[in-house]
Amino acid sequence: MPVSMSPRENYLACLNHKPHQYTPGFGDSAGCGMFVPIERGEGGSGIDAFGVRWVAPLSGGAGAALPAPNEFMLTDITKWQSVVKIPDLTIYDWEKFAELEAGMYDRDKVAIEAASLNFIYERLATLMGFEEALLAMAIEPDATYALLEALTDWKIELMKYYAKYFNPDVYIFFDDVATERVLFMSPDTYRTLIKPLHTKMVNACKDIGIIPIQHTCGKADLIVEDMIEEGCEAWHCVQAQNDIEGIIQKYGDRFVIMGGYNTTGAPGLPYATEDMVRAEVRRCFDTYAKYGKGYTFFGMVLTAADPANPMDMGPMNAVIMDEFLKIRAEQTA
């Protein structure tokens, strides 16, 4: 069919729940590019803006940086105001950051996504550890909410700096509130302590004209309606154990699933073959893209085959993108 939309236009049309000509996907060749301005350092070893020390053990592979064990700075949620130092955003040279990012993507062809790592639940866990964070939510919900609200207000101010200096089309906030099997907390706890603050963040994005997207790994389909009520336009990095087809069929005209690739199954394992990876990309398109709405492909292999080079997922991820581009060519032929 004749194609008149650029990858950027096609991608943004999908996120805005408008007609688009082919299935979008993640990556600059697919129509979008992501940047993480001041929070980039949180993906590896070192001290972040909150004073949390991160480590990246070789055994974990890429993306496995975590707060240093047994060094959590907050042990009593009721004392957070005297312990947690909210970073000062005025100290950064934002114009210099903008210059460094300026040449990364062709904005005529690629939609720009600003990523905000360690959103409020994730940040609480970096400050206290997962066990203590969940106990705080259960035992001291008022004090926990006060800290989460302060973190949300800081994130909103950070987003405004993003908007001023980078002019992104999309804002993705990373808040992994689920394991591979179930939410970390009950849906009611999510709705009481987290949902109102996600909504506050989403509204701030929409006030500026930025498309808000929630990133949540794991099985979180229990809160899909909550994400929609928050005002999120899409759910990013949706893993295969969720009811993706059911969500697309029910909500695909107003909510976008970004994901589908089986990252925790055989196609995401270190020794996945090229044939397995290509077949999994095809499965995603055959299963989820057939509805013509509410779906954007996103997939990656997260673990390297060579333990001595744990950050090198390049070969298999290049295969994923190659297969994606082949399918796009078929869709637009």
Write the CATH number for 131.
3.20.20.210
- DSSP H helices in the chain: 7-15, 80-83, 94-102, 120-128, 130-139, 141-166, 187-189, 195-208, 224-230, 244-251, 274-288, 314-331
- Residue 31 located in a structural domain: yes
How many domains does the chain contain in total?
Answer: 1
Q: Residue 223 sits in which domain range? A: 7-331
Sheet of strand 66-67, all strands in order from the earlier edge strand to the far edge: 46-47, 53-55, 66-67
Contact 124, 149 (CB under 8 A): no
Q: Is residue 85 situated within a structural domain?
A: yes
- N- to C-terminal Cα distance for the chain? 6
Per-residue pLDDT of the chain (333 residues; tens, 9 = 90+): 678 999 999 999 999 999 999 999 987 667 788 877 666 444 456 888 899 988 876 655 545 678 888 899 999 999 999 999 999 999 989 998 888 877 788 888 899 999 898 999 999 999 999 999 999 999 999 999 999 999 999 999 999 999 999 999 999 999 999 999 999 999 999 999 999 999 999 999 999 999 999 999 999 999 999 999 999 999 999 999 999 999 999 999 999 999 999 988 999 887 788 999 999 999 999 999 999 999 999 988 766 555 555 445 567 888 999 999 999 999 998
Strands 53-55 and 66-67, bridge-based pairing: antiparallel
Whether 206 is covered by a domain: the verdict is yes
Query: Does some domain include residue 1?
Result: no
Q: Note whether residue 2 is domain-resident.
A: no
pTM here?
0.93
Residue 114: partners with Cβ closer than 8 Å, 6 or more residues away: 34, 35, 36, 37, 159, 162, 166, 168, 170, 171, 172, 210
